[in-house]
Amino acid sequence: GAVVSQHPSWVICKSGTSVKIECRSLDFQATTMFWYRQFPKQSLMLMATSNEGSKATYEQGVEKDKFLINHASLTLSTLTVTSAHPEDSSFYICSATLPRATNEQFFGPGTRLTVL
């Protein structure tokens, strides 16, 4: 099946710094990738839809200036958490859909962000 990777798998940073998370589709080209946030014991919350070569579409309530998304190539999307604060600590997961009719969604392993 399709493989999606994320890097780093976990990161600890100081309040006020910026953190970049990478999401890569390893064996397929993904024109669309999705970024989710998951709080402990809760389901996934869609943050934004990332389309290659265009601006990301953010969900209501998600600050686009705080969560910068770049989809520069068909295999890479990045999420940058700018000026991170402790309340940004969470599990961030990306996914990508195969470019065919099934639209099956494949997830990366997630990135645990802890802001001190």
Partner 1 sequence: KQEVTQIPAALSVPEGENLVLNCSFTDSAIYNLQWFRQDPGKGLTSLLLIQSSQREQTSGRLNASLDKSSGRSTLYIAASQPGDSATYLCAVKDFNKFYFGSGTKLNVKP
Residue 91 binds partner 1 (CB under 8 A): yes
Residue 34 binds partner 1 (CB under 8 A): yes
Q: Could you tell me the smallest distance in angstroms from the CB atom of residue 93 to partner 1?
A: 6
Q: Report which secondary-structure segment, H or E, holds 35.
A: strand 32-38
With CB under 8 A as the contact rule, the residue among 11, 46, 62, 74 that binds partner 1 is 46
Residue 62 binds partner 1 (CB under 8 A): no
β-pairing verdict for 44-51 and 57-58: antiparallel
With CB under 8 A as the contact rule, the residue among 74, 105, 113, 116 that binds partner 1 is 105
Residue 75 binds partner 1 (CB under 8 A): no
Whether residue 50 contacts residue 36, with contact meaning beta carbons closer than 8 Å, is answered with: no
Q: Closest Cα partner for 94 from 15, 34, 40?
A: 34
